[in-house]
Amino acid sequence: SHASFLKVLLAALCAALANGLVLSSIHAIQGLTTLRIASADGHIYPATIVRADPTHGVVLLQAVGAQNLTSLTFASVTPRVGDLAIAVAHAPFSPVTLNTGTISSVGITVTLADGEPALHDVLTVDATPDPRQDGAPLLSGNGDVIGVVVDANGSAPGLVALSMSGASALVAAATGGGG
């Protein structure tokens, strides 16, 4: 079913590493009994959870059997209030969605209305929330990943994203430093 697919961007949602690791939000996989990742070219891969980080609202997944996924580049510069932010999502069987806004806060702790634990090291974006973008990468105006959307369901004003410093720490911990 459509609900069993993980939301994806281009070649596998925010493909953090070329070896099939994919970073997403915990919200994007909640309630799913089977995890699958669909790439932009139509390939569908089974997925397993490598590591979950409820404190930051993200999960690192392994796209089993995936090869040559396009990796996105993590930003080398910390985003600032007022910077452009673009959430990009490509849910299977749906067109790519773009949501642009400006960063309204960085490095904060946010408590969402959904009863989940408070999220740390997040940034917020003044943009209209779109549930299809939960788990999507948040890009800078240069196309580099500055965060991962961890709430796009309207639990908080705008979009809430884990900053790339928090996300890259999860990847490094799961891969022995190779993020």
pLDDT of residue 94: 66
| Token pair 């939000």 in the structure block, residue | 25
Residue 110 structure tokens: 């946010």
Separation CA 137–CA 147 (nearest Å): 6
pLDDT of residue 102: 95
In one-letter notation, the amino acid at residue 92 is P
Nearest by Cα to 15 from 56, 97, 76, 74: 74
Q: Which DSSP string do the residues of 148-174 spell out, in sequence order?
A: EEEE-SSSSSSEEEEEHHHHHHHHHHH
pLDDT tens for the 179 residues of the chain, in order = 333 334 333 323 344 455 778 888 887 787 778 888 777 677 788 888 988 887 777 888 888 888 777 777 778 888 999 999 998 876 656 667 788 999 999 988 888 766 777 788 889 999 887 777 778 888 899 888 888 888 777 667 788 888 877 777 777 776 666 54
pTM beyond 0.75: the answer is yes
Distances in Å between the Cα of 144 and the Cα atoms of 18, 66, 88, 163, 165 are 16, 22, 12, 12, 13
